[in-house]
Amino acid sequence: MGSMADLFWPGDERADGHFTDAAFLRAMVEVESEWLGRELEVPELDPAAAEAGGNPVIALVRLLREQDLEVHRGLTSQDVVDTALMRMAMHAVADVRLDLAAIGHGLTGLAEQHRDTPMVARTLTQHAVPTTFGFRVAAWLTAVLDADEDLARLTFPRQLGGAAGTRAAMVELGRELPTGIPRWHTTRAPVTRIGDALVGCTDACARIANDVVTMSRPEIGELAEGSGGGSSTMPNKANPVLSVLVRRAALTTPQLAATLHLAAAQQVDDRADGGWHAEWATLRDLVRRTLVAVSQTADLVADLRVAPDRMAANLAAAGDAVLAEQRSMTDDPAPTYLGDAGAYVDQVVARAKAALG
Amino acid sequence: MGSMADLFWPGDERADGHFTDAAFLRAMVEVESEWLGRELEVPELDPAAAEAGGNPVIALVRLLREQDLEVHRGLTSQDVVDTALMRMAMHAVADVRLDLAAIGHGLTGLAEQHRDTPMVARTLTQHAVPTTFGFRVAAWLTAVLDADEDLARLTFPRQLGGAAGTRAAMVELGRELPTGIPRWHTTRAPVTRIGDALVGCTDACARIANDVVTMSRPEIGELAEGSGGGSSTMPNKANPVLSVLVRRAALTTPQLAATLHLAAAQQVDDRADGGWHAEWATLRDLVRRTLVAVSQTADLVADLRVAPDRMAANLAAAGDAVLAEQRSMTDDPAPTYLGDAGAYVDQVVARAKAALG
Amino acid sequence: MGSMADLFWPGDERADGHFTDAAFLRAMVEVESEWLGRELEVPELDPAAAEAGGNPVIALVRLLREQDLEVHRGLTSQDVVDTALMRMAMHAVADVRLDLAAIGHGLTGLAEQHRDTPMVARTLTQHAVPTTFGFRVAAWLTAVLDADEDLARLTFPRQLGGAAGTRAAMVELGRELPTGIPRWHTTRAPVTRIGDALVGCTDACARIANDVVTMSRPEIGELAEGSGGGSSTMPNKANPVLSVLVRRAALTTPQLAATLHLAAAQQVDDRADGGWHAEWATLRDLVRRTLVAVSQTADLVADLRVAPDRMAANLAAAGDAVLAEQRSMTDDPAPTYLGDAGAYVDQVVARAKAALG
Amino acid sequence: MGSMADLFWPGDERADGHFTDAAFLRAMVEVESEWLGRELEVPELDPAAAEAGGNPVIALVRLLREQDLEVHRGLTSQDVVDTALMRMAMHAVADVRLDLAAIGHGLTGLAEQHRDTPMVARTLTQHAVPTTFGFRVAAWLTAVLDADEDLARLTFPRQLGGAAGTRAAMVELGRELPTGIPRWHTTRAPVTRIGDALVGCTDACARIANDVVTMSRPEIGELAEGSGGGSSTMPNKANPVLSVLVRRAALTTPQLAATLHLAAAQQVDDRADGGWHAEWATLRDLVRRTLVAVSQTADLVADLRVAPDRMAANLAAAGDAVLAEQRSMTDDPAPTYLGDAGAYVDQVVARAKAALG
How would DSSP label each residue in C121-181? EEETTEEEEEEEHHHHHHHHHHHHHHHHHHHHT---------TTSS-HHHHHTT-----S-
Residue pair C107/C301 in contact (Cβ under 8 Å)? The answer is yes
Q: Is the pLDDT of residue C52 over 50?
A: yes
* Residue D344 covered by a domain: yes
Contacts of A226 (CB under 8 A, 6+ apart): A299, A300, A302, A303, A304, A305
* Residue A308 covered by a domain: yes
Q: Is the pLDDT of residue D4 over 70?
A: no
Contact between chains at B217 and C241 (C-beta distance less than 8 A) = no
In chain B, % helix, strand, coil (3-state, to 5) comes to 60, 5, 35
Is C271 annotated in the active site?
A: yes
Q: Is the dihedral of CA D90, D92, D94, D96 positive or negative?
A: negative
pLDDT band at C290 (very low <50, low <70, confident <90, very high): very high
Stretch B269-297: mean pLDDT: 98
Name the minimum distance, in Å, from the CA of A236 to any CA of chain C. Answer: 27
Chain A nearest-CA residue for B282: A252
Interface test with C, best of D1, D73, D232 (most C CBs within 10 A): D232
Chain A contact partners (≥3 CB pairs within 8 A): B, C, D
DSSP at D321: G
Contact between chains at D275 and C12 (C-beta distance less than 8 A) = no
For residue C57, the chain D residues in CB contact (below 8 A) are 232
Alpha-carbon span A116 to C329, nearest angstrom: 72
pLDDT band at A236 (very low <50, low <70, confident <90, very high): low
pLDDT digits (tens, 9 = 90+) for B155-187: 999 999 999 999 999 998 999 998 888 999 999
Quote the domain boundaries for residue C204.
Answer: 89-157+185-356
pLDDT digits (tens, 9 = 90+) for D25-57: 999 999 999 999 999 999 999 888 888 889 999
Just list the catalytic residues of A: 231, 271
* Residue C24 covered by a domain: no
pLDDT of amino acid D19: 98
Contact between chains at A127 and D244 (C-beta distance less than 8 A) = no
For residue C237, the chain B residues in CB contact (below 8 A) are 123, 126-128, 321
Contacts of B38 (CB under 8 A, 6+ apart): B68
pLDDT digits (tens, 9 = 90+) for A281-337: 999 999 999 999 999 999 999 999 999 999 999 999 999 888 887 777 777 776 778
* Residue D301 covered by a domain: yes
* Residue D231 covered by a domain: yes
Residue B79 phi, psi (nearest 5): -55, -45
What are residue B131's DSSP bridge partners?
B119
Alpha-carbon span A51 to B7, nearest angstrom: 9
Does the interface predicted TM-score (ipTM) exceed 0.90?
A: yes
Residue pair B74/B37 in contact (Cβ under 8 Å)? The answer is no
pLDDT band at A49 (very low <50, low <70, confident <90, very high): confident
Chain D nearest-CA residue for C74: D233
pLDDT digits (tens, 9 = 90+) for B87-131: 999 999 999 999 999 999 999 999 999 999 999 999 999 999 999
Contact between chains at A236 and D324 (C-beta distance less than 8 A) = yes
Residues composing chain C: 357
Q: Which long-range contacts (CB under 8 A, 24 or more apart) does C29-37 make?
A: C29/C60, C29/C64, C30/C84, C30/C87, C31/C75, C31/C79, C31/C80, C31/C83, C31/C84, C31/C87, C31/C158, C32/C60, C32/C61, C32/C64, C32/C71, C32/C72, C32/C75, C32/C80, C35/C72, C35/C74, C35/C75, C36/C68, C36/C70, C36/C71
Just list the catalytic residues of B: 231, 271
Q: Is the pLDDT of residue B290 over 90?
A: yes
For residue B142, the chain D residues in CB contact (below 8 A) are 182-184, 187
Contact between chains at D6 and C48 (C-beta distance less than 8 A) = no
Q: Is the pLDDT of residue D104 over 70?
A: yes
Q: Give the mean pLDDT of chain C.
A: 94
Q: Is the pLDDT of residue A19 over 50?
A: yes
Instruction: State how far Cα C137 lies from the chain centre.
Output: 20
- What is the dihedral angle through the alpha carbons of D135, D141, D147, D152, rounded to the nearest 10 degrees? -130
Name the minimum distance, in Å, from the CA of D19 to any CA of chain B. Answer: 23
Residue D123 phi, psi (nearest 5): -125, 135
Which member of A172, A184, A265 has the closest CB to residue C203? A265
Contact between chains at B232 and A76 (C-beta distance less than 8 A) = yes
Residue pair C253/C283 in contact (Cβ under 8 Å)? The answer is no
Alpha-carbon span B179 to B40, nearest angstrom: 26
Alpha-carbon span B115 to B137, nearest angstrom: 9
Structurally, chain C folds into a number of domains equal to 1
Alpha-carbon span A145 to A137, nearest angstrom: 12
Contact between chains at C229 and D24 (C-beta distance less than 8 A) = no
CA atoms lying within 13 Å on the CB side of residue C162:
26
Contact between chains at A261 and C206 (C-beta distance less than 8 A) = no
Alpha-carbon span D207 to D213, nearest angstrom: 11
Q: Is the pLDDT of residue C321 over 70?
A: yes
Residue C205 CA: distances (Å) to CA of B291, C247, D82, D326: 33, 8, 27, 62
Q: Is the pLDDT of residue D1 over 50?
A: no
Residue pair B297/B209 in contact (Cβ under 8 Å)? The answer is yes
Contact between chains at C262 and D251 (C-beta distance less than 8 A) = yes
Q: Give the mean pLDDT of chain A.
A: 94
Instruction: Give the helix ranges, DSSP H, for A7-153.
Output: 21-36, 50-53, 56-67, 77-113, 133-152
pLDDT of amino acid A357: 83
Contact between chains at C130 and A187 (C-beta distance less than 8 A) = no
The CATH number of whichever domain residue A98 belongs to comes to 1.20.200.10
* Residue B143 covered by a domain: yes
Q: Which long-range contacts (CB under 8 A, 24 or more apart) does A63-72 make?
A: A64/A29, A64/A32, A64/A40, A67/A40, A67/A41, A67/A43, A68/A36, A68/A38, A68/A40, A70/A36, A71/A32, A71/A36, A71/A40, A72/A32, A72/A35, A72/B232, A72/B233
Catalytic-role residue among C65, C73, C231, C327: C231
Least confident window among B68-77, C1-10, C50-59, C106-115: C1-10
Instruction: Give the helix ranges, DSSP H, for D68-172.
Output: 77-113, 133-152, 168-172
- What is the dihedral angle through the alpha carbons of C176, C177, C179, C182, rounded to the nearest 10 degrees? 180
Consecutive H or E run containing B128? strand B126-132
pLDDT band at C104 (very low <50, low <70, confident <90, very high): very high
pLDDT digits (tens, 9 = 90+) for C167-196: 999 999 999 998 888 999 999 999 999 999
Residue pair D245/C51 in contact (Cβ under 8 Å)? The answer is yes
For residue B347, the chain D residues in CB contact (below 8 A) are 179-180
Tell me if residue C230 falls in helix, strand or coil.
Answer: coil
pLDDT digits (tens, 9 = 90+) for D132-186: 999 999 999 999 999 999 999 999 999 999 999 999 999 989 999 988 889 999 9
For residue A150, the chain C residues in CB contact (below 8 A) are 189, 193
Chain B nearest-CA residue for A210: B273
Residue pair B133/B117 in contact (Cβ under 8 Å)? The answer is yes
Interface contacts (B, C; CB < 8 Å): 93
pLDDT band at B1 (very low <50, low <70, confident <90, very high): very low
* Residue B172 covered by a domain: no
Higher pLDDT, B5 or A258: A258
pLDDT band at C4 (very low <50, low <70, confident <90, very high): low
pLDDT of amino acid A232: 73
Alpha-carbon span A277 to A267, nearest angstrom: 11
Which member of B54, B229, B282 has the closest CB to residue A53? B229
* Residue C5 covered by a domain: no
For residue D124, the chain A residues in CB contact (below 8 A) are 213, 229, 239-241, 244
Q: Which long-range contacts (CB under 8 A, 24 or more apart) does A329-334 make?
A: A329/C73, A329/C74, A329/C169, A329/C172, A329/C173, A330/C172, A330/C173, A332/C172
For residue C225, the chain D residues in CB contact (below 8 A) are none
